[in-house]
Amino acid sequence: MDTPQPLYSAESVRELDRRVITALGVPSLALMKRAGRRAFARLMARWPDVRRVQVFCGGGNNGGDGYVVAALAAQKNIPVTACACVPPEKLSGDARSAYEYALREGVQVVQSLTDLDSEDGDTVIVDALLGTGFSGELREPLGHAVERINRSVAPVLAVDIPSGLNADTGHGDRAVRADLTVTFIARKLGLYCGRGPALCGEVAFEDLGAPAEVHQGLEPLAWRYTGESVPRLAERPADAYKNQFGHILVVGGDAGFGGAALMAAESAARSGAGLISLATRPEHLSAALTRCPEVMAHPVISGQELEPLLDSPDVIAVGPGLGRAPWGEQLLARAGRAEVPLVVDADALNILAGGRVLAGLRRDDWVLTPHVGEAARLLGWDSAAVLADPLAAAQAVQEKFSGVVILKGAGTLIAHEQGVDLINAGNPGMASGGMGDLLTGIIAALIGQGLSPVEAARLAVWLHGAAGDHAAADGQRGLLATDLLPWVRRLVD
Ligand SMILES: NC(=O)C1=CN([C@@H]2O[C@H](COP(=O)(O)OP(=O)(O)OC[C@H]3O[C@@H](n4cnc5c(N)ncnc54)[C@H](O)[C@@H]3O)[C@@H](O)[C@H]2O)[C@@H](O)CC1
Ligand SMILES: [K+]
């Protein structure tokens, strides 16, 4: 099993840059040339038939990297133009040296977007406008350069980070959309959360020879788990019996939302839970038994009827299709006080956000699974604030409610007592109803099989996304939540 990858802030990466320069005993310009060489090698590997290169350079060291790439293209006799989006006379230090290097190699430098020839399909654009030094809102003339890049038909390689994307938060309303991002020294959190996954394209990591010890004592913002580093379930013993694998109770399914609770129950079943009960509206019973007779479905018309069902399960998942009416409130009020681990999703989160039910409750043994809108309601923020800094939002929900908080997105964040984890899995086809219900069922089943809430969250988020990726082989549009179930079953072992 691999170890998770540390994800750093821009400030920590600057510190790492300094440490690498000291540790390797090389001048900073040598490191910049190394970065440029690695970026150019990645460009040639991805687009071996490139006929023309156009580099957009800013005024800092990211621009310097860009001038190095331009110089290397010229050395290979590939026609190359560098657009100096910040006037060269304003360059200093390594960026100026890199600019002069590009001139010596015969790179054509233009100073205005209007002087650039238009790009075609044989051109590769290199975005070296802004790197980790970017902060705040994008200022002109770089904004126009970003728009020009995004209008182009040519593929785009972003140097270190797509320009305009915030390396700390993944915020980027006005940022370059790249096909390939070559990032140096250390992974920046912003590449993997918020808008990062949508803007970066493929991410290629180049450590530039940084020795492992430079990371010592530097706290990452988050840890990135992949299929190789998520925890896995232990193999079942030959003499296994069902009581060893958890009894899950799913609570939900008010009138009109019966499918949500049923999907959560079925996904718990397909994730290996030993026994599954479902507490739902009486009118959903026959449908539930027809669809999945393995589930023990119980009719509940009030919180009182739920009470006796709360004694036997090992884990309770509450929320899918719960609704926000008094029926759902009563059920959540009871389930939320049960003495077993809880998975809290969907309308259970919305009721919780309302503050009248389970007011002030904090539990170490619950997993809350909000999407952006639900996180905003739990915090009393607006959604834009959550999108602007998802890490801060996930941490704030965790601080308020304790336990494990899964903030769902293209980069899903898992905030817990010890820190924050991030997982990139899944695809846009999964933006459809029912997907969250499946995740809830998976988490509950994994806790039932012995994983801690945080381990269950890590494995479940990856499993859910990976199942979605497999299922999307038949097309992302029209992907149904239940299409994932056979894949959940195949991948859970
Ligand atoms: N320091 C090092 O050792 C290395 C640095 N490298 C490169 O250097 C980059 C960091 O360089 P810098 O720290 O010079 O920073 P950048 O080049 O990323 O950005 C600094 C420039 O951006 C401008 N800027 C900042 N915010 C802006 C905004 N909102 N709108 C418009 N312009 C804005 C600043 O005025 C400044 O000119 C990395 O991303 C990487 O590409 C690489 O060469 C590898 C080695
Ligand atoms: K860039």
Measuring CA to CA, which residue among 287, 277, 361, 280 is closest to residue 316? 277
Find the 131 Cα to ligand 2 centroid distance in Å.
Answer: 5
Map residue 384 onto helix, strand or coil. Answer: helix
Cross-sheet strand order for the sheet of 366-368: 187-188, 5-8, 222-225, 419-423, 412-416, 404-407, 366-368, 342-344, 315-318, 247-251, 275-280, 296-299
Name the segment(s) of the chain with CATH classification 3.40.50.10260. Answer: 20-219
Phi/psi at 315 (5° precision): -145, 140
- Rounded Cα distance between 362 and 40, Å, is 51
Residue from 62, 135, 138, 174 whose mutation best tests the ligand 1 pocket (most atoms within 8 A of CB): 62
DSSP 8-class letter at 127 = E
What is the structure's pLDDT at 161? 98
Residue 338 assigned ligand-binding role: no
Residue from 32, 134, 171 whose mutation best tests the ligand 1 pocket (most atoms within 8 A of CB): 134
Map residue 317 onto helix, strand or coil. Answer: strand
CATH top-level class of 242-492: alpha beta
> Which two tokens mark 139?
């200022």
CATH top-level class of 20-219: alpha beta
Q: Are 460 and 488 in contact (CB under 8 A)?
A: no
Q: Are 176 and 200 in contact (CB under 8 A)?
A: no
Name the segment(s) of the chain with CATH classification 3.40.1190.20. Answer: 242-492
Find the 171 Cα to ligand 1 centroid distance in Å.
Answer: 17
Find the 64 Cα to ligand 1 centroid distance in Å.
Answer: 9
- Taking 70 as the pLDDT cut, the residues of the chain under it are none
- Rounded Cα distance between 65 and 336, Å, is 54
- Rounded Cα distance between 241 and 38, Å, is 54
Is any ligand 1 atom within 6 A of the Cβ of residue 442?
no
Residue 485 CA to chain centroid, in angstroms?
22
What is the structure's pLDDT at 118? 85
Measuring CA to CA, which residue among 323, 319, 259 is closest to residue 292? 259
**253-309 pLDDT, tens per residue?**
999 999 999 999 999 999 999 999 999 999 999 999 999 999 999 999 999 999 999
> Which two tokens mark 429?
């086809």
What is the structure's pLDDT at 5? 97
Is any ligand 1 atom within 6 A of the Cβ of residue 127?
no
Q: Whose CA is nearest to atom 42 of ligand 1?
A: 32
Could you identify the residue written with the tokens 């040598």? 30
**373-412 pLDDT, tens per residue?**
999 999 999 999 999 999 999 999 999 999 999 999 999 9
